Amino acid sequence: MWSVINLAIVIVNYNVCELLRSCLSSVYSSQGEITFEVCVVDNNSEDDSLNMVREEFPQAKIIANRENVGYPTANNLGLELLGVTTANIEQRPRYCLLLNPDTEVPSNAFEFLVDYLDANPEVAIVGPRLMMLDGQLDLACRRAFPSPEVSAYRMLGLSRLFPSSPRFARYNMTFLPEDQIAEVDSVVGAFMMVRVEAVNQVGLMDERFWMYGEDLDWAKRMKDVGWKVVYNPDITVLHVKRASSRYSRRAQVEFYRAMLIFYYKHYSSSTSKPMHWLVLFGIAIKGRRSIIGDILAGPSILEAP
């Protein structure tokens, strides 16, 4: 029989064995009364990741994919294995956590953020302050949705020129003090704690994304039905950033493809024709030849599995 847990943690791994070891060590060093289970979903790594997990963290569940199925599909597999979508509500965990293997969490992180969600039932998603190795804030940890207006300010460089402007700097919300708790549009999937009730209301992650954009899409779907998303800097998590994708040509292509999918899914129907063509032109310039086929496909990009 499934044992009821407070928190279901899914870690999607791809060729970052040493970082995964450090991440899992920090996870299993957590303190407090929170019960949790971990599922490592490996996307066909060529390093020693799977053997390391089996030998050093036998309490973790493992899904070993025979190919790199992408980030949202891998997360969905882990969420399903940990009972997030089980039909028996009483046997579902209360919360789930998407956690990147290139993170290290403080020992009080899980209990603190679970307590925060318990005390704020209107909040579906909470994310911590993410700090990179150089001590700088990972700007992706608090974001606005990339609407045509917000994206235009970013592509034109206005967000960099006016980082303190609530209008021009909405993409990464740099106008907010990094130590200020705030309701935001989205936090980043590197550490995204989510209320399972909200997951079952809107469904799992959209597998039409392969990498990038799926966390924004998930948050938007939840906000669209009335839930809140909160950035809570009272917890700070280390994030190496793009450890699995920094050398991947496909990851670079998928970044711009995700922009296109998100735009067509959430904004194209309400965007004026001049702005529509400006958005496509901007994505084409950034993505260059790698994204032209998807741009020409238009809305049919949403029909891809």
Residue 131 shares a structural domain with residue 265: no
Same domain assignment for residues 232 and 257: no
The closest of 192, 150, 156, 152 to 174, measured between CA atoms, is 150
The sign of the dihedral angle between the CA atoms of 149, 215, 118, 240 is: negative
The whole domain housing 215 covers 7-143+185-239
Say yes or no: 222 and 94 in one domain.
yes
Domain assignment present for residue 272? The answer is yes
Domain of residue 127, CATH code: 3.90.550.10
- 221 and 201: one domain? yes
Using a 10 angstrom Cβ sphere, with 0-12 exposed, 13-18 middle and 19 or more buried, the burial of residue 240 is buried
Number of domains within the chain: 2
Considering the domain architecture, whether residues 117 and 206 belong to the same structural domain is answered as yes
Residue 246 is predicted with a pLDDT of: 52
pLDDT of residue 3: 47
Instruction: Note the pLDDT of residue 67.
Output: 95
> Residues 11, 117: one domain?
yes
Same domain, 75 and 124: yes
Write b or e for each residue in 211-239: b if 16 or more Cβ atoms lie within 10 A of its Cβ, otherwise e: bbbbbbbbbbbbbeeebbbbbbbebbbbb
Any domain includes 174: no
233 and 282 share one domain: no
pLDDT along the chain (305 residues), means of 10: 75 97 97 94 96 98 96 97 93 96 97 97 98 94 92 85 92 94 97 98 94 94 98 97 60 80 85 78 68 63 62
State pTM to two decimals. 0.90
Residues 209 and 257 in one domain: no
Separation CA 118–CA 115 (nearest Å):
5
CA 109, CA 111: separation in Å to the nearest integer?
6
Residue 139 lies in a domain: yes
